[in-house]
Amino acid sequence: MPNGAELFVGALQQLGIDRIFTLVGDHLNEVLAVAGRAGIQIIDMRHESGVTHAADAWARITRKPAVSLVTGGPGHTNSLTGIATAFLAASPLIAVSGSRASTLADRQAFQDIEQVNMTRPVVKWAAQPPNAAQIPFYLGRAYAEASSGRQGPVHLTIPVDVFLGKTETPASVPVMPAVGGASACAADL
């Protein structure tokens, strides 16, 4: 029975994402261990702002969604400048932040802040999967939102208990639209 971290990494692989820009933090330990075992390149930075700026740069170069992964609370707030920069540049960044366990929400737990709403002014879409089974669907939706229309950043907050939670019935990754603009025919040009 897979856990949320395994589903997250599996969905990344299905989406063709082969690297994670990150700064290691407690909320992320399981997903980074799974990603390392799966052969996903982990680019560990010294500051969360650098994480999102580097992922933004990679997304601009490749014109495909790139993933930043930071811890919750102050790690998340440190990443906001890079997310806002990606928004202004129409860069397809998937900014993922860990967080306290979902059972501790709204209880003044350590590093508990409203991360999803904090990002909404500078992303195309932001959400939090309710459980481990939904991680593939939410990551696929994030990919689709980041790459469709005018490209831009999206945000997912994933609580540590959702990364650790197990499920027998994971959702599937939705079918992705083709990345890149439509090409014009010669007659139209």
Pairing of strands 19-22, 125-127: unpaired
* Structure tokens that stand for 100 in this block: 């306290």
- Taking alpha carbons only, the member of 16, 1, 4 closest to residue 96 is 4
Handedness of CA 110, 102, 12, 35 (dihedral sign): positive
Which 8-state DSSP code applies to residue 166? B
Please give the CATH number for the structural domain made up of 4-164: 3.40.50.970
Q: How far apart are CA 66 and CA 57, in angstroms?
A: 9
How large is the C-alpha radius of gyration of the chain? 16
Higher local confidence (pLDDT), 105 or 31 = 31
Strands, sheet with 66-70, edge to edge from the N-terminal-most edge strand: 41-44, 19-22, 66-70, 93-99, 154-159, 125-127
pLDDT reading at 177 higher than 60: no
pLDDT reading at 168 higher than 70: yes
Q: Residue 132: what are its φ and ψ, rounded to 5°?
A: -60, -40
169 pLDDT band, cuts 50/70/90, is confident
Q: What is the pLDDT of residues 33-46, one digit of tens each?
A: 999 999 999 999 99
Q: How far apart are CA 80 and CA 151, in angstroms?
A: 18
Say how many CA atoms lie within 13 Å of 184 toward its Cβ: 4
pLDDT reading at 48 higher than 70: yes
Q: How far apart are CA 68 and CA 55, in angstroms?
A: 6
Q: What is the pLDDT of residues 89-134, one digit of tens each?
A: 999 999 999 998 877 666 666 677 889 999 999 999 999 999 999 9
Q: What is the pLDDT of residues 76-89, one digit of tens each?
A: 999 999 999 999 99
* Residue 38: predicted pLDDT: 97
Q: How far apart are CA 117 and CA 155, in angstroms?
A: 10
Domain ranges of the chain: 4-164
Q: Is the pTM of this model over 0.75?
A: yes
